[in-house]
Amino acid sequence: MGNDLASCPTWTPSEATSESYGHIIRAMKLPSFLKFGFVIYRCTYSDDAAWTQLLSLIKREAQEGIKKLGPGRDWLGAHLEWTVVEDPTLDGATQEEVKRRFGGWADGVVEEYERTSTGNVRRLPRFNYCVFVDEKGLASLEKSKAVVVLMRSERGIPAWVLEAQAAASRRPQSSVDSEDEEEENFEDEEEEEEEEDDIPLAAHEATWMYVETQYLLSLYNSLHAGSGWKHSYVRPPGVYGRNEV
């Protein structure tokens, strides 16, 4: 198992799948980028107490998840880094606005890293996915499980997305949409926002989904795979982590 990063073997992708947080560990060994975790953007500033509570919850749940792995993995906690962005100019920002800002940040960090290292970090989840916290996310604290938005950057589109787009372009258009939804949704249909009328039906078209905060770290691990988003995506208003994947 390995009691620290140095003692862990360099697994193949298939071997990493069978190890606890194996993809995270493998990614730290190959390019020697010794940190992991999403960037979190605060996009609502109406309730400082709720924001502090949500951020503390995310950090606590992640550390508790690592501790449950036992002494052979508890060292991972020292490498976990949530980059938190608090900027009042983001109050009420749209997902597209945050995505552009995130893309600029990610490009800058990657370019700086590549000046001194030959490792390839551009495909790491840290630089391709980020957490978006809005009013709905803070309001979810009043429910049994807190929920945030995870956004996918469209930089460096993976092969499976291109293949799905090509296949979709060859199919005849259908006027019938599937309405098969799970009973447990983040919001009831009557409470859904107008923007959700444009929710894409397929993972390759989707750039965001709802995620229970307690599953952020395990999802981060899964997203190392090229098709990680494809296999993890849950169509809103469904929520990743609620027996829907």
Q: How far apart are CA 93 and CA 170, in angstroms?
A: 36
**Residue 189 is inside which H or E element, if any?**
none
pLDDT value at position 177?
A: 47
pLDDT value at position 71?
A: 84
Q: How far apart are CA 38 and CA 83, in angstroms?
A: 7
Q: Which alpha helices (H) appear in the chain, and where do they start and end?
A: 13-17, 22-29, 48-67, 95-116, 135-139, 159-170, 216-222, 228-232
pLDDT value at position 190?
A: 38
Count other Cβ atoms within 10 Å, centred on residue 127.
Answer: 22
Q: How far apart are CA 42 and CA 237, in angstroms?
A: 21
Phi/psi for 211 (5° steps) reads -135, 135
Locate 35 and state its tokens. 């940190």
Q: How far apart are CA 30 and CA 54, in angstroms?
A: 33
Q: In terms of Cα–Cα distance, which of 220, 33, 227, 46 is closest to 138?
A: 46
pLDDT value at position 166?
A: 57
Q: Which alpha helices (H) appear in 117-223, and where do they start and end?
A: 135-139, 159-170, 216-222
Phi/psi for 93 (5° steps) reads -65, 150
Where b means 16+ CB within 10 Å and e means fewer, 205-233 reads: ebebbbbbbbbbbbbbbbbbbeebbbebb
Count other Cβ atoms within 10 Å, centred on residue 129.
Answer: 24
Block mean pLDDT (10 aa), the chain, length 245:
84 94 94 94 98 98 94 93 98 97 96 90 96 98 95 66 55 49 48 49 86 98 92 95 71
pLDDT value at position 179?
A: 42
pTM of the model: 0.82
pLDDT value at position 154?
A: 72
Locate 148 and state its tokens. 């945030």
pLDDT value at position 1?
A: 56
Question: Which amino acid makes up residue 171?
Answer: R
Count other Cβ atoms within 10 Å, centred on residue 71.
Answer: 9
